[in-house]
Amino acid sequence: MKYEVVKNFYDGRFSENGATEFLDVTSPIDGNLLSRVPMSSADELNSVVESAKAAFASWSARPIKERVQVFFKYRQLLEENVDELTALVSEENGKTWDEAKAEVEKSIELTEFACSMPQLVSGEILEVSKGVECRTEHFPLGVVASIVPFNFPLMVPNWTIPNALVLGNTMIMKPSELVPLSCQRMAELLKESGLPDGVFNIINGGKEVVEGICDHAGIEAVSFVGSTKVAKLVYQRSTNSLKRCIALGGAKNHLFVLPDANPTMTATNVTASMSGCAGQRCMAASAMLAVGNVDSIIEQIAAEARKVVPGKNLGAVISKAAKERIENFITEAERDGATILVDGRGAVVEGKENGTYVGPTVIDRVTPNMSVATEEIFGPVISIMHTDTLDEAIKIENANPYGNAASVFTQSGGVARYVMEHASAGMIGVNIGVPVPREPFSFGGWNESRFGANDITGRSSIEFWTKLKKTTTKWNPEAGVNWMS
Ligand code: NAD
Protein backbone atom coordinates (compact mmCIF):
# COMPACT_ATOMS: atom_id res chain seq x y z
CA MET A 1 0.00 0.00 0.00
CA LYS A 2 1.55 3.27 -1.16
CA TYR A 3 -0.03 5.69 1.35
CA GLU A 4 -1.05 5.51 5.00
CA VAL A 5 -4.63 4.65 5.88
CA VAL A 6 -6.88 7.68 5.28
CA LYS A 7 -7.91 9.49 8.47
CA ASN A 8 -10.57 11.90 9.55
CA PHE A 9 -9.33 15.42 10.30
CA TYR A 10 -10.70 17.57 13.09
CA ASP A 11 -9.47 19.81 15.93
CA GLY A 12 -6.60 20.56 13.57
CA ARG A 13 -5.18 17.03 13.42
CA PHE A 14 -5.63 13.68 11.75
CA SER A 15 -7.46 11.27 13.95
CA GLU A 16 -7.16 7.51 14.31
CA ASN A 17 -10.79 6.66 14.13
CA GLY A 18 -12.86 3.87 15.47
CA ALA A 19 -14.23 2.70 12.13
CA THR A 20 -14.55 -1.04 11.77
CA GLU A 21 -15.12 -1.02 8.02
CA PHE A 22 -12.52 0.16 5.51
CA LEU A 23 -12.64 0.25 1.70
CA ASP A 24 -9.64 -0.15 -0.59
CA VAL A 25 -8.58 2.90 -2.54
CA THR A 26 -7.06 1.70 -5.81
CA SER A 27 -5.61 3.59 -8.74
CA PRO A 28 -7.72 3.30 -11.92
CA ILE A 29 -4.48 3.64 -13.90
CA ASP A 30 -3.08 0.23 -12.93
CA GLY A 31 -5.33 -1.18 -10.22
CA ASN A 32 -2.63 -0.80 -7.54
CA LEU A 33 -3.68 -0.42 -3.92
CA LEU A 34 -3.08 3.16 -2.77
CA SER A 35 -4.70 3.26 0.65
CA ARG A 36 -7.74 2.29 2.70
CA VAL A 37 -10.54 4.64 3.63
CA PRO A 38 -12.62 4.37 6.82
CA MET A 39 -16.40 4.19 6.64
CA SER A 40 -17.00 6.44 9.63
CA SER A 41 -20.04 6.16 11.84
CA ALA A 42 -22.59 8.81 12.78
CA ASP A 43 -20.93 8.91 16.27
CA GLU A 44 -17.66 10.08 14.79
CA LEU A 45 -19.54 12.74 12.91
CA ASN A 46 -20.48 14.23 16.31
CA SER A 47 -16.80 14.79 17.20
CA VAL A 48 -16.19 16.44 13.84
CA VAL A 49 -19.21 18.74 14.23
CA GLU A 50 -18.01 19.69 17.72
CA SER A 51 -14.63 20.66 16.29
CA ALA A 52 -16.24 22.90 13.65
CA LYS A 53 -18.65 24.40 16.22
CA ALA A 54 -15.87 25.25 18.66
CA ALA A 55 -13.90 27.08 15.97
CA PHE A 56 -16.81 29.11 14.63
CA ALA A 57 -16.99 31.92 17.23
CA SER A 58 -13.42 33.13 16.89
CA TRP A 59 -13.10 32.50 13.14
CA SER A 60 -16.30 34.34 12.28
CA ALA A 61 -15.35 37.22 14.60
CA ARG A 62 -12.22 37.95 12.55
CA PRO A 63 -12.69 40.68 9.96
CA ILE A 64 -12.92 39.25 6.45
CA LYS A 65 -9.73 41.06 5.42
CA GLU A 66 -7.92 39.03 8.07
CA ARG A 67 -9.59 35.71 7.12
CA VAL A 68 -8.63 36.21 3.52
CA GLN A 69 -4.91 36.33 4.39
CA VAL A 70 -4.99 32.57 5.04
CA PHE A 71 -6.19 32.02 1.49
CA PHE A 72 -3.50 34.19 -0.10
CA LYS A 73 -1.08 31.78 1.55
CA TYR A 74 -3.14 28.71 0.55
CA ARG A 75 -3.09 29.90 -3.06
CA GLN A 76 0.69 30.17 -2.88
CA LEU A 77 0.99 26.66 -1.42
CA LEU A 78 -1.23 25.20 -4.15
CA GLU A 79 1.15 26.74 -6.67
CA GLU A 80 4.28 25.56 -4.88
CA ASN A 81 2.92 22.01 -4.65
CA VAL A 82 1.45 21.82 -8.13
CA ASP A 83 3.46 18.77 -9.22
CA GLU A 84 2.77 16.77 -6.08
CA LEU A 85 -0.96 17.58 -6.20
CA THR A 86 -1.13 16.80 -9.91
CA ALA A 87 0.46 13.40 -9.33
CA LEU A 88 -1.93 12.60 -6.48
CA VAL A 89 -5.07 13.61 -8.43
CA SER A 90 -3.94 11.62 -11.45
CA GLU A 91 -3.09 8.57 -9.37
CA GLU A 92 -6.32 8.36 -7.40
CA ASN A 93 -8.72 9.49 -10.14
CA GLY A 94 -7.05 8.10 -13.26
CA LYS A 95 -6.93 11.30 -15.30
CA THR A 96 -3.93 12.30 -17.40
CA TRP A 97 -1.17 14.54 -16.05
CA ASP A 98 -2.40 17.56 -18.04
CA GLU A 99 -5.99 17.09 -16.88
CA ALA A 100 -4.92 16.71 -13.26
CA LYS A 101 -2.70 19.79 -13.53
CA ALA A 102 -5.62 21.79 -14.94
CA GLU A 103 -7.56 20.79 -11.81
CA VAL A 104 -4.87 22.29 -9.58
CA GLU A 105 -4.78 25.43 -11.73
CA LYS A 106 -8.56 25.76 -11.51
CA SER A 107 -8.31 25.36 -7.72
CA ILE A 108 -5.88 28.29 -7.72
CA GLU A 109 -8.36 30.39 -9.73
CA LEU A 110 -11.16 29.49 -7.30
CA THR A 111 -8.97 30.57 -4.38
CA GLU A 112 -8.09 33.84 -6.12
CA PHE A 113 -11.79 34.57 -6.45
CA ALA A 114 -12.32 33.92 -2.73
CA CYS A 115 -9.47 36.33 -2.02
CA SER A 116 -11.49 39.05 -3.77
CA MET A 117 -14.46 38.52 -1.43
CA PRO A 118 -13.79 41.61 0.71
CA GLN A 119 -14.48 43.69 -2.41
CA LEU A 120 -17.69 41.79 -3.15
CA VAL A 121 -19.47 41.41 0.17
CA SER A 122 -19.60 44.97 1.39
CA GLY A 123 -23.22 45.67 2.24
CA GLU A 124 -25.49 48.51 1.16
CA ILE A 125 -26.39 51.66 3.04
CA LEU A 126 -29.08 54.23 2.26
CA GLU A 127 -30.76 57.12 4.05
CA VAL A 128 -34.35 55.92 3.74
CA SER A 129 -36.00 58.74 5.70
CA LYS A 130 -34.57 61.98 7.12
CA GLY A 131 -31.81 60.90 9.53
CA VAL A 132 -32.73 57.22 9.22
CA GLU A 133 -30.39 54.74 7.57
CA CYS A 134 -30.85 51.14 6.49
CA ARG A 135 -27.78 48.92 6.00
CA THR A 136 -27.18 45.31 5.12
CA GLU A 137 -24.35 42.99 6.16
CA HIS A 138 -23.58 39.40 5.21
CA PHE A 139 -23.21 37.07 8.19
CA PRO A 140 -21.80 33.52 8.06
CA LEU A 141 -24.19 30.64 8.66
CA GLY A 142 -22.12 28.60 11.14
CA VAL A 143 -21.01 25.01 10.56
CA VAL A 144 -21.54 23.99 6.94
CA ALA A 145 -20.92 20.72 5.11
CA SER A 146 -19.63 19.94 1.64
CA ILE A 147 -20.20 16.50 0.11
CA VAL A 148 -18.23 15.88 -3.09
CA PRO A 149 -17.97 13.33 -5.95
CA PHE A 150 -15.05 11.32 -7.34
CA ASN A 151 -14.49 13.07 -10.65
CA PHE A 152 -12.61 16.17 -9.43
CA PRO A 153 -10.88 15.21 -6.16
CA LEU A 154 -9.28 18.64 -5.77
CA MET A 155 -11.30 21.14 -7.82
CA VAL A 156 -14.83 20.40 -6.60
CA PRO A 157 -13.81 20.63 -2.91
CA ASN A 158 -12.27 23.98 -3.83
CA TRP A 159 -15.59 25.13 -5.30
CA THR A 160 -16.74 25.35 -1.69
CA ILE A 161 -13.79 25.55 0.75
CA PRO A 162 -12.30 29.00 -0.02
CA ASN A 163 -15.62 30.83 -0.49
CA ALA A 164 -17.41 29.32 2.50
CA LEU A 165 -14.46 29.81 4.86
CA VAL A 166 -13.50 33.32 3.74
CA LEU A 167 -17.13 34.26 4.37
CA GLY A 168 -16.69 33.15 8.00
CA ASN A 169 -18.17 29.65 8.13
CA THR A 170 -16.45 26.53 9.45
CA MET A 171 -16.68 23.40 7.31
CA ILE A 172 -17.00 19.63 7.36
CA MET A 173 -15.82 18.05 4.09
CA LYS A 174 -17.03 14.59 3.06
CA PRO A 175 -14.74 13.43 0.23
CA SER A 176 -15.68 10.68 -2.20
CA GLU A 177 -14.61 7.35 -0.74
CA LEU A 178 -13.15 6.53 -4.16
CA VAL A 179 -10.68 9.46 -4.11
CA PRO A 180 -10.08 10.58 -0.51
CA LEU A 181 -6.33 11.33 -0.78
CA SER A 182 -6.31 14.82 -2.33
CA CYS A 183 -8.49 16.12 0.53
CA GLN A 184 -5.97 14.75 3.08
CA ARG A 185 -3.22 16.81 1.47
CA MET A 186 -5.49 19.84 1.24
CA ALA A 187 -6.09 19.70 5.01
CA GLU A 188 -2.32 19.85 5.54
CA LEU A 189 -1.93 22.78 3.17
CA LEU A 190 -4.78 24.71 4.81
CA LYS A 191 -3.17 24.18 8.22
CA GLU A 192 0.20 25.30 6.87
CA SER A 193 -1.56 28.38 5.49
CA GLY A 194 -2.45 29.38 9.05
CA LEU A 195 -6.08 28.24 9.14
CA PRO A 196 -7.06 27.88 12.81
CA ASP A 197 -7.81 24.37 14.10
CA GLY A 198 -11.41 23.26 13.59
CA VAL A 199 -12.23 25.67 10.75
CA PHE A 200 -11.74 22.89 8.16
CA ASN A 201 -12.55 19.28 9.00
CA ILE A 202 -12.88 16.02 7.13
CA ILE A 203 -15.13 13.04 7.76
CA ASN A 204 -14.66 10.03 5.51
CA GLY A 205 -17.34 7.52 4.74
CA GLY A 206 -20.36 6.84 2.59
CA LYS A 207 -24.13 6.77 2.84
CA GLU A 208 -24.32 6.58 6.66
CA VAL A 209 -22.17 9.66 7.16
CA VAL A 210 -23.97 11.61 4.40
CA GLU A 211 -27.32 10.85 5.99
CA GLY A 212 -25.87 11.86 9.37
CA ILE A 213 -24.78 15.21 7.89
CA CYS A 214 -28.27 15.82 6.46
CA ASP A 215 -29.88 15.12 9.83
CA HIS A 216 -27.37 16.74 12.21
CA ALA A 217 -28.80 19.65 14.18
CA GLY A 218 -25.37 21.26 14.50
CA ILE A 219 -24.96 21.76 10.75
CA GLU A 220 -26.61 24.80 9.14
CA ALA A 221 -26.12 24.18 5.42
CA VAL A 222 -25.20 21.38 3.05
CA SER A 223 -23.69 21.62 -0.39
CA PHE A 224 -23.67 18.45 -2.44
CA VAL A 225 -22.17 17.57 -5.82
CA GLY A 226 -22.74 14.12 -7.34
CA SER A 227 -25.31 12.05 -9.18
CA THR A 228 -28.92 13.20 -9.51
CA LYS A 229 -30.20 10.18 -7.60
CA VAL A 230 -28.18 11.08 -4.51
CA ALA A 231 -28.61 14.85 -5.02
CA LYS A 232 -32.37 14.39 -4.69
CA LEU A 233 -32.00 12.32 -1.52
CA VAL A 234 -29.59 14.81 0.05
CA TYR A 235 -31.72 17.81 -0.91
CA GLN A 236 -34.90 16.24 0.45
CA ARG A 237 -33.32 14.96 3.63
CA SER A 238 -31.38 18.09 4.57
CA THR A 239 -34.21 20.52 3.79
CA ASN A 240 -36.52 18.24 5.74
CA SER A 241 -34.30 18.92 8.75
CA LEU A 242 -34.64 22.63 7.88
CA LYS A 243 -31.15 23.18 6.48
CA ARG A 244 -30.17 25.34 3.57
CA CYS A 245 -29.10 23.05 0.72
CA ILE A 246 -27.73 23.22 -2.78
CA ALA A 247 -27.41 19.85 -4.51
CA LEU A 248 -25.84 19.57 -7.96
CA GLY A 249 -26.65 16.41 -9.88
CA GLY A 250 -25.76 14.60 -13.06
CA ALA A 251 -25.91 15.78 -16.65
CA LYS A 252 -26.61 14.94 -20.27
CA ASN A 253 -25.11 17.78 -22.25
CA HIS A 254 -26.20 18.34 -25.85
CA LEU A 255 -24.11 19.89 -28.60
CA PHE A 256 -26.00 21.31 -31.59
CA VAL A 257 -23.95 21.11 -34.78
CA LEU A 258 -25.14 23.08 -37.83
CA PRO A 259 -23.93 22.69 -41.44
CA ASP A 260 -22.27 26.14 -41.37
CA ALA A 261 -20.08 25.23 -38.37
CA ASN A 262 -16.32 25.52 -38.82
CA PRO A 263 -15.54 21.81 -39.45
CA THR A 264 -12.06 21.51 -37.96
CA MET A 265 -12.76 23.59 -34.89
CA THR A 266 -16.05 21.76 -34.30
CA ALA A 267 -14.49 18.31 -34.66
CA THR A 268 -11.63 19.05 -32.26
CA ASN A 269 -13.93 20.74 -29.72
CA VAL A 270 -16.57 18.02 -29.77
CA THR A 271 -13.94 15.29 -29.41
CA ALA A 272 -12.11 17.08 -26.59
CA SER A 273 -15.39 17.67 -24.78
CA MET A 274 -16.57 14.07 -24.95
CA SER A 275 -13.20 12.44 -24.18
CA GLY A 276 -11.54 14.90 -21.75
CA CYS A 277 -11.25 13.42 -18.23
CA ALA A 278 -12.43 10.17 -19.90
CA GLY A 279 -15.89 11.73 -20.25
CA GLN A 280 -16.23 11.85 -16.46
CA ARG A 281 -17.15 15.53 -16.35
CA CYS A 282 -20.58 16.89 -15.62
CA MET A 283 -19.87 19.36 -18.45
CA ALA A 284 -18.79 16.72 -21.00
CA ALA A 285 -20.51 16.52 -24.37
CA SER A 286 -22.61 13.38 -24.24
CA ALA A 287 -25.16 13.83 -27.04
CA MET A 288 -24.69 15.57 -30.37
CA LEU A 289 -27.61 16.90 -32.39
CA ALA A 290 -26.65 16.93 -36.07
CA VAL A 291 -29.01 19.47 -37.65
CA GLY A 292 -29.22 18.95 -41.43
CA ASN A 293 -26.35 17.41 -43.35
CA VAL A 294 -23.18 17.54 -41.25
CA ASP A 295 -21.82 14.16 -42.37
CA SER A 296 -18.40 15.52 -43.26
CA ILE A 297 -18.06 17.02 -39.77
CA ILE A 298 -19.06 13.67 -38.26
CA GLU A 299 -16.31 11.99 -40.32
CA GLN A 300 -13.83 14.49 -38.91
CA ILE A 301 -15.07 13.85 -35.37
CA ALA A 302 -14.48 10.12 -35.87
CA ALA A 303 -10.99 10.85 -37.22
CA GLU A 304 -10.21 13.09 -34.23
CA ALA A 305 -11.54 10.47 -31.81
CA ARG A 306 -9.18 7.86 -33.29
CA LYS A 307 -6.26 10.10 -32.26
CA VAL A 308 -7.32 9.81 -28.61
CA VAL A 309 -5.37 6.90 -27.16
CA PRO A 310 -6.02 5.27 -23.77
CA GLY A 311 -3.02 5.57 -21.47
CA LYS A 312 -1.55 8.40 -23.60
CA ASN A 313 -3.95 11.30 -24.03
CA LEU A 314 -6.94 9.52 -22.47
CA GLY A 315 -7.11 8.62 -18.78
CA ALA A 316 -8.82 5.70 -17.08
CA VAL A 317 -12.41 5.56 -15.89
CA ILE A 318 -12.83 5.32 -12.14
CA SER A 319 -13.52 1.60 -11.62
CA LYS A 320 -14.18 -1.80 -13.16
CA ALA A 321 -17.89 -1.23 -12.48
CA ALA A 322 -17.78 2.07 -14.40
CA LYS A 323 -15.97 0.44 -17.35
CA GLU A 324 -18.56 -2.32 -17.44
CA ARG A 325 -21.46 0.13 -17.22
CA ILE A 326 -20.10 2.30 -20.06
CA GLU A 327 -19.38 -0.69 -22.30
CA ASN A 328 -22.88 -2.04 -21.66
CA PHE A 329 -24.36 1.25 -22.90
CA ILE A 330 -22.38 0.89 -26.15
CA THR A 331 -23.43 -2.73 -26.61
CA GLU A 332 -27.07 -1.84 -26.01
CA ALA A 333 -26.95 0.97 -28.60
CA GLU A 334 -25.38 -1.40 -31.15
CA ARG A 335 -28.06 -4.00 -30.46
CA ASP A 336 -30.76 -1.34 -30.89
CA GLY A 337 -29.47 -0.43 -34.36
CA ALA A 338 -27.07 2.47 -33.82
CA THR A 339 -23.80 2.62 -35.82
CA ILE A 340 -20.59 2.41 -33.79
CA LEU A 341 -18.18 4.61 -35.78
CA VAL A 342 -15.39 4.42 -33.22
CA ASP A 343 -15.50 1.63 -30.65
CA GLY A 344 -13.76 2.01 -27.30
CA ARG A 345 -14.83 -1.30 -25.80
CA GLY A 346 -12.18 -3.70 -24.55
CA ALA A 347 -9.41 -1.11 -24.31
CA VAL A 348 -6.28 -2.40 -22.59
CA VAL A 349 -3.11 -0.42 -21.96
CA GLU A 350 0.08 -2.40 -22.24
CA GLY A 351 1.82 -2.77 -18.89
CA LYS A 352 -1.31 -1.52 -17.10
CA GLU A 353 -3.57 -4.48 -17.72
CA ASN A 354 -5.37 -3.93 -14.40
CA GLY A 355 -6.20 -0.33 -15.31
CA THR A 356 -9.80 0.50 -16.19
CA TYR A 357 -9.78 2.10 -19.62
CA VAL A 358 -12.50 2.73 -22.16
CA GLY A 359 -11.44 4.06 -25.55
CA PRO A 360 -13.14 7.02 -27.25
CA THR A 361 -16.46 5.97 -28.72
CA VAL A 362 -18.53 7.69 -31.42
CA ILE A 363 -22.04 6.31 -31.92
CA ASP A 364 -23.98 7.53 -34.94
CA ARG A 365 -27.62 7.11 -35.97
CA VAL A 366 -28.83 7.12 -32.37
CA THR A 367 -32.57 7.63 -31.90
CA PRO A 368 -33.95 9.78 -29.07
CA ASN A 369 -35.44 6.85 -27.14
CA MET A 370 -32.20 4.82 -26.86
CA SER A 371 -30.53 4.73 -23.44
CA VAL A 372 -27.34 6.31 -24.86
CA ALA A 373 -29.52 9.28 -25.89
CA THR A 374 -31.35 9.76 -22.62
CA GLU A 375 -29.05 8.64 -19.78
CA GLU A 376 -25.83 9.97 -18.34
CA ILE A 377 -23.09 7.57 -19.51
CA PHE A 378 -20.15 9.30 -17.75
CA GLY A 379 -17.55 7.85 -20.10
CA PRO A 380 -15.76 8.93 -23.32
CA VAL A 381 -18.80 8.33 -25.50
CA ILE A 382 -20.79 10.62 -27.80
CA SER A 383 -24.22 9.69 -29.14
CA ILE A 384 -25.13 11.39 -32.41
CA MET A 385 -28.78 12.02 -33.31
CA HIS A 386 -29.91 13.53 -36.63
CA THR A 387 -32.68 16.08 -37.14
CA ASP A 388 -33.92 18.05 -40.14
CA THR A 389 -34.60 21.25 -38.21
CA LEU A 390 -33.20 23.19 -35.27
CA ASP A 391 -36.59 23.12 -33.52
CA GLU A 392 -36.63 19.32 -33.65
CA ALA A 393 -33.17 19.29 -32.07
CA ILE A 394 -34.24 21.74 -29.38
CA LYS A 395 -37.24 19.55 -28.62
CA ILE A 396 -34.93 16.59 -27.96
CA GLU A 397 -32.67 18.67 -25.71
CA ASN A 398 -35.63 20.14 -23.82
CA ALA A 399 -37.16 16.70 -23.22
CA ASN A 400 -34.11 15.49 -21.31
CA PRO A 401 -34.57 15.80 -17.54
CA TYR A 402 -31.04 17.15 -16.93
CA GLY A 403 -29.99 20.70 -17.75
CA ASN A 404 -26.36 21.37 -16.95
CA ALA A 405 -24.93 22.58 -20.26
CA ALA A 406 -25.72 22.89 -23.98
CA SER A 407 -23.57 24.22 -26.77
CA VAL A 408 -24.07 25.24 -30.39
CA PHE A 409 -21.56 25.14 -33.25
CA THR A 410 -22.48 27.58 -36.01
CA GLN A 411 -21.26 30.74 -37.75
CA SER A 412 -24.74 32.27 -37.59
CA GLY A 413 -25.41 34.75 -34.82
CA GLY A 414 -29.15 34.23 -35.21
CA VAL A 415 -28.93 30.47 -34.78
CA ALA A 416 -26.61 30.87 -31.78
CA ARG A 417 -29.00 33.34 -30.18
CA TYR A 418 -31.96 31.00 -30.79
CA VAL A 419 -30.18 28.11 -29.02
CA MET A 420 -29.10 30.40 -26.15
CA GLU A 421 -32.76 31.33 -25.66
CA HIS A 422 -34.37 27.93 -26.14
CA ALA A 423 -31.97 25.32 -24.71
CA SER A 424 -33.10 24.25 -21.24
CA ALA A 425 -29.72 24.35 -19.52
CA GLY A 426 -27.98 26.57 -16.98
CA MET A 427 -24.71 26.94 -18.91
CA ILE A 428 -24.66 27.60 -22.66
CA GLY A 429 -21.74 27.57 -25.08
CA VAL A 430 -21.37 29.03 -28.53
CA ASN A 431 -18.57 27.32 -30.48
CA ILE A 432 -17.15 25.92 -27.25
CA GLY A 433 -17.28 22.30 -26.11
CA VAL A 434 -17.09 22.72 -22.34
CA PRO A 435 -18.86 25.98 -21.45
CA VAL A 436 -17.74 26.21 -17.82
CA PRO A 437 -18.20 29.79 -16.64
CA ARG A 438 -14.97 31.08 -15.14
CA GLU A 439 -14.73 33.21 -12.01
CA PRO A 440 -16.35 35.58 -11.14
CA PHE A 441 -19.23 33.92 -13.04
CA SER A 442 -21.02 31.20 -11.19
CA PHE A 443 -21.42 27.48 -11.90
CA GLY A 444 -24.77 25.73 -11.77
CA GLY A 445 -27.21 23.87 -14.00
CA TRP A 446 -30.97 23.75 -14.29
CA ASN A 447 -33.67 21.09 -13.98
CA GLU A 448 -32.44 17.81 -12.46
CA SER A 449 -28.84 18.97 -12.63
CA ARG A 450 -29.33 21.29 -9.66
CA PHE A 451 -31.70 21.42 -6.71
CA GLY A 452 -31.96 24.52 -4.55
CA ALA A 453 -31.51 28.23 -5.17
CA ASN A 454 -28.23 29.93 -6.16
CA ASP A 455 -25.19 28.52 -7.90
CA ILE A 456 -22.30 26.85 -6.13
CA THR A 457 -19.43 29.16 -7.11
CA GLY A 458 -18.82 32.78 -8.06
CA ARG A 459 -20.86 35.71 -6.83
CA SER A 460 -23.98 33.58 -6.50
CA SER A 461 -22.30 31.48 -3.79
CA ILE A 462 -22.17 34.51 -1.48
CA GLU A 463 -25.95 34.31 -1.11
CA PHE A 464 -25.72 30.61 -0.33
CA TRP A 465 -22.94 30.80 2.28
CA THR A 466 -24.25 33.87 4.16
CA LYS A 467 -27.38 35.36 5.66
CA LEU A 468 -28.25 39.04 5.46
CA LYS A 469 -28.69 41.24 8.51
CA LYS A 470 -30.69 44.41 7.90
CA THR A 471 -30.14 47.23 10.41
CA THR A 472 -32.09 50.48 10.63
CA THR A 473 -30.58 53.37 12.62
CA LYS A 474 -31.72 56.83 13.66
CA TRP A 475 -29.18 59.10 15.29
CA ASN A 476 -31.16 62.35 15.32
CA PRO A 477 -33.37 62.21 18.43
CA GLU A 478 -34.73 65.68 17.61
CA ALA A 479 -36.37 64.36 14.42
CA GLY A 480 -40.14 64.21 14.43
CA VAL A 481 -42.12 61.04 14.86
CA ASN A 482 -43.12 59.32 11.65
CA TRP A 483 -44.41 55.87 10.71
CA MET A 484 -40.93 54.39 11.17
CA SER A 485 -40.56 55.56 14.75
P1 NAD B 1 -22.34 9.90 -6.30
O2 NAD B 1 -23.67 10.55 -6.25
O3 NAD B 1 -22.28 8.43 -6.37
O4 NAD B 1 -21.49 10.30 -4.99
C5 NAD B 1 -21.38 11.65 -4.57
C6 NAD B 1 -21.22 11.66 -3.05
O7 NAD B 1 -22.39 11.10 -2.45
C8 NAD B 1 -20.02 10.85 -2.56
O9 NAD B 1 -19.37 11.58 -1.55
C10 NAD B 1 -20.66 9.56 -2.04
O11 NAD B 1 -19.97 9.04 -0.94
C12 NAD B 1 -22.05 10.00 -1.61
N13 NAD B 1 -23.08 8.95 -1.81
C14 NAD B 1 -23.11 8.00 -2.79
N15 NAD B 1 -24.23 7.25 -2.68
C16 NAD B 1 -24.92 7.75 -1.63
C17 NAD B 1 -26.18 7.39 -1.02
N18 NAD B 1 -26.92 6.41 -1.47
N19 NAD B 1 -26.60 8.12 0.02
C20 NAD B 1 -25.86 9.15 0.51
N21 NAD B 1 -24.65 9.50 -0.02
C22 NAD B 1 -24.19 8.82 -1.07
O23 NAD B 1 -21.53 10.59 -7.49
P24 NAD B 1 -20.11 10.18 -8.08
O25 NAD B 1 -20.24 8.88 -8.81
O26 NAD B 1 -19.06 10.30 -7.04
O27 NAD B 1 -19.87 11.36 -9.12
C28 NAD B 1 -20.33 11.35 -10.44
C29 NAD B 1 -21.64 12.11 -10.56
O30 NAD B 1 -21.47 13.44 -10.10
C31 NAD B 1 -22.10 12.24 -12.01
O32 NAD B 1 -23.48 12.04 -12.05
C33 NAD B 1 -21.74 13.68 -12.36
O34 NAD B 1 -22.52 14.25 -13.39
C35 NAD B 1 -21.99 14.35 -11.06
N36 NAD B 1 -21.29 15.63 -10.98
C37 NAD B 1 -22.06 16.75 -11.11
C38 NAD B 1 -21.45 17.99 -11.08
C39 NAD B 1 -22.28 19.23 -11.25
O40 NAD B 1 -21.74 20.30 -11.09
N41 NAD B 1 -23.56 19.15 -11.57
C42 NAD B 1 -20.07 18.08 -10.91
C43 NAD B 1 -19.32 16.92 -10.77
C44 NAD B 1 -19.96 15.69 -10.81
Catalytic-residue membership of 282: yes
Give the integer Cα–Cα distance in Å for 21 and 150: 20
Q: Is 404 in the pocket of ligand 1 (CB under 6 A)?
A: yes
Which residue, by CA, sits nearest to atom 33 of ligand 1? 250
Question: What per-residue confidence (pLDDT) applies to 484?
Answer: 65
Domain 253-401+405-430 in the same topology as domain 8-250+444-470: no
Spatial separation of the C-alpha atoms in residues 404 and 451, rounded to whole Å = 12
71 CB near ligand 1 (under 6 Å): no
Please list, residue by residue across 376-389, b when 16 or more beta carbons sit within 10 angstroms of its beta carbon and e when fewer do: bbbbbbbbbbbbee
Q: In angstroms, what is the span from residue 322 Cα to ligand 1's centroid?
A: 13
* Domain spans of the chain, in order of start: 8-250+444-470, 253-401+405-430
CA–CA gap between residue 432 and residue 253 (Å, rounded): 12
Virtual torsion, Cα 336, 338, 342, 343, nearest 10 deg = 0
Do 176 and 149 meet the contact criterion of CB atoms below 8 Å apart?
yes
Distance 325 CA to ligand 1 centre (A): 16
CB 37 within 8 A of CB 23: yes
Distance 119 CA to ligand 1 centre (A): 33
Question: Which of 282, 427, 460 to probe ligand 1 with, by most ligand atoms within 8 A of CB?
Answer: 282
pLDDT tens per residue across all 485 residues of the chain: 999 999 999 999 999 878 899 999 999 999 999 999 999 998 899 999 999 999 999 999 999 999 999 999 999 999 999 999 999 999 999 999 999 999 999 999 999 999 999 999 999 999 998 889 999 999 999 999 999 999 999 999 999 999 999 999 999 999 999 999 999 999 999 999 999 999 999 999 999 999 999 999 999 999 999 999 999 999 999 999 999 999 999 999 999 999 999 999 999 999 999 999 999 999 999 999 999 999 999 999 999 999 999 999 999 999 999 999 999 999 999 999 999 999 999 999 999 999 999 999 999 999 999 999 999 999 999 999 999 999 999 999 999 999 999 999 999 999 999 999 999 999 999 999 999 999 999 999 999 999 999 999 999 999 999 999 999 998 876 766 666 66
pLDDT of residue 99: 98
* pLDDT attached to residue 16: 80
CB-based burial label for 179 (10 Å; 0-12, 13-18, 19+): buried
Q: From the candidates 115, 183, 277, 282, which is the catalytic residue? A: 282
What spacing in Å lies between the alpha carbon of 165 and ligand 1's midpoint? 23
pLDDT tens by residue, 79-121: 999 999 999 999 999 999 999 999 999 999 999 999 999 999 9
Question: 248 in ligand 1 pocket by Cβ < 6 Å?
Answer: yes
Q: How many residues does the chain have?
A: 485
Q: Which sign, positive or negative, has the C-alpha torsion 238, 322, 204, 8?
A: negative
Q: Give yes or no for residue 149 CB within 6 A of ligand 1.
A: yes
- 150 C-beta closer than 6 A to ligand 1: yes
CATH of 253-401+405-430, one of 3.40.50.2000, 3.40.309.10, 3.30.420.60, 3.40.50.1950: 3.40.309.10
Which tens digit of pLDDT belongs to each residue from 9-58?
Answer: 999 999 987 889 999 999 999 999 999 999 999 889 999 999 999 999 99
CATH topology of domain 8-250+444-470: Aldehyde Dehydrogenase; Chain A, domain 1 (3.40.605)
Ligand 1 center to 226 CA (angstroms): 3
**Which residue's CA is the closest to the ligand 1 atom numbered 11?**
206
Q: Is the pTM of this model over 0.95?
A: yes
Give yes or no for residue 151 CB within 6 A of ligand 1: yes
Report whether residue 235 contacts ligand 1, using a CB cutoff of 6 Å.
no
What are φ and ψ of residue 428, in 5° steps? -115, 140
